[in-house]
Amino acid sequence: MPKTVAVVTGSNKGIGFAIVRALCKNFDGDVYLTARDEGRGQQAVQDLEKENLHPKFHQLDINSKESIGKLKEFLEKNYGGLDILVNNAAIAYKANSTAPFAEQADVSMRCNFFGTLDVCHALFPLLRPHSRVVNVASRGGIASFKKLSQQLAEQFQSDSLTESQLIGLMNRFVSDTKAGDHQAKGWANSAYGATKLGVIALTAIQARALKDDPREDTLINACCPGYVDTDMSSHKGTKTPDEGAITPVYLALLPPNTTAPQGEMVAEKEILKWKTR
């Protein structure tokens, strides 16, 4: 039997780091702490070693197809597959950022949506039967959904939305911000929210695609970790990172032959119904 393996993106700090900590304690396989910066990643591994936990390390910048490809090759060669993938890495501009909104939209979309998508495209072929994928999104994505024009909302919640149509919507949001009329075009005024709405909608599409996949019992869900005390929240969040990791880890460790949740948005271990019909 090949050794089972879990990968957590953006796990040198914050919620990702806490997800690695919990998986090291509860998953019977190798756990990869990954980071875009090798030094920060190795330091994080050493910090967990002090807790007598033994994650492994691999560099991963989700904005770099080359970096993603190297991780894929490594997993293929050393494990012949993948059992748990937690897409946690993301960025958020601070509310007081002076960067132009269109730049915030472009940069956030490239990392949070397209980076996550590139990781999925590269690593999904490695998923073994009974694997679990967790896309860390945010209730902010649902808040953005609720502010969409009816026409856009219908597209996002359609059960026939395809991945290429979703990519088109995400690109349209960015180009509308560049034209300065994204709100007039029916979008909410949040770059981060748009990226996370994209991740939530992507998860539903990915789960639908699994219905025709010969690999049995593969589950993929999105989640919100809650408002967590990390650098992203400027340490204003009310949950500890370990508390924020609870729902992502619950989804990552759903027992074999579970049928639900599948393709859902989950918070506090409960499905969040985000569609309006």
Ligand X SMILES: NC(=O)c1ccc[n+]([C@@H]2O[C@H](COP(=O)([O-])OP(=O)(O)OC[C@H]3O[C@@H](n4cnc5c(N)ncnc54)[C@H](OP(=O)(O)O)[C@@H]3O)[C@@H](O)[C@H]2O)c1
Which residues contact ligand X (rule: CB under 6 A)? 9-10, 12-16, 35-37, 40, 60-63, 88-91, 111, 115, 136, 138, 224-225, 227-228, 230-233, 237
Question: Residue 181 and residue 175: Cα distance in Å, rounded?
Answer: 9
Give, for 266, the enclosing helix (H) or strand (E).
Answer: strand 265-267
* Block residue for tokens 């495209």: 121
Q: Is the Cβ of residue 166 or residue 232 nearer to ligand X in the bound state?
A: 232
Instruction: CB nearer to ligand X: give 130 or 195.
Output: 195
Minimum CB–partner distance for residue 2 and ligand X (Å): 26
Residue 39 or 214: the one with the smaller Cβ distance to ligand X is 39
Amino acid at 138: S
Residue nearest to ligand X (CB): 14
Min dist. Cβ of residue 51 to ligand X (A): 18
The two three-digit tokens of residue 158, written as one number: 């359609």
Q: Considering the complex, state which of residue 59 and residue 149 has its C-beta at the smaller distance from ligand X.
A: 59
- Distance (Å, whole) CA 50 – CA 209: 41
| C-alpha span between 115 and 61 (Å, rounded) | 8
Distance of CA 126 to the CA centre of its chain: 17
**Reduced to 3 states, what is the DSSP secondary structure of residue 100?**
coil
- Which of 200, 232 has the CB closer to ligand X? 232
Shortest Å distance, C-beta 216 to ligand X: 28
Beta strands per DSSP E along 61-200:
82-87, 127-136
Q: Which of 197, 212, 215 is nearest to 265 (CA)?
A: 197
From 79, 93, 192, 227, the catalytic residue:
192
250 is catalytic: no
> Distance (Å, rounded) from C-alpha 248 to C-alpha 245?
5
Q: What is the phi-psi region of residue 89: left when phi exceeds 0, alpha when psi lies from -120 to 50, beta otherwise? A: beta
Least Å from the CB of residue 262 to ligand X: 20
Q: How many CA atoms lie within 13 A of 177 on its CB side?
A: 23
Q: Supply the residues annotated as catalytic.
A: 192
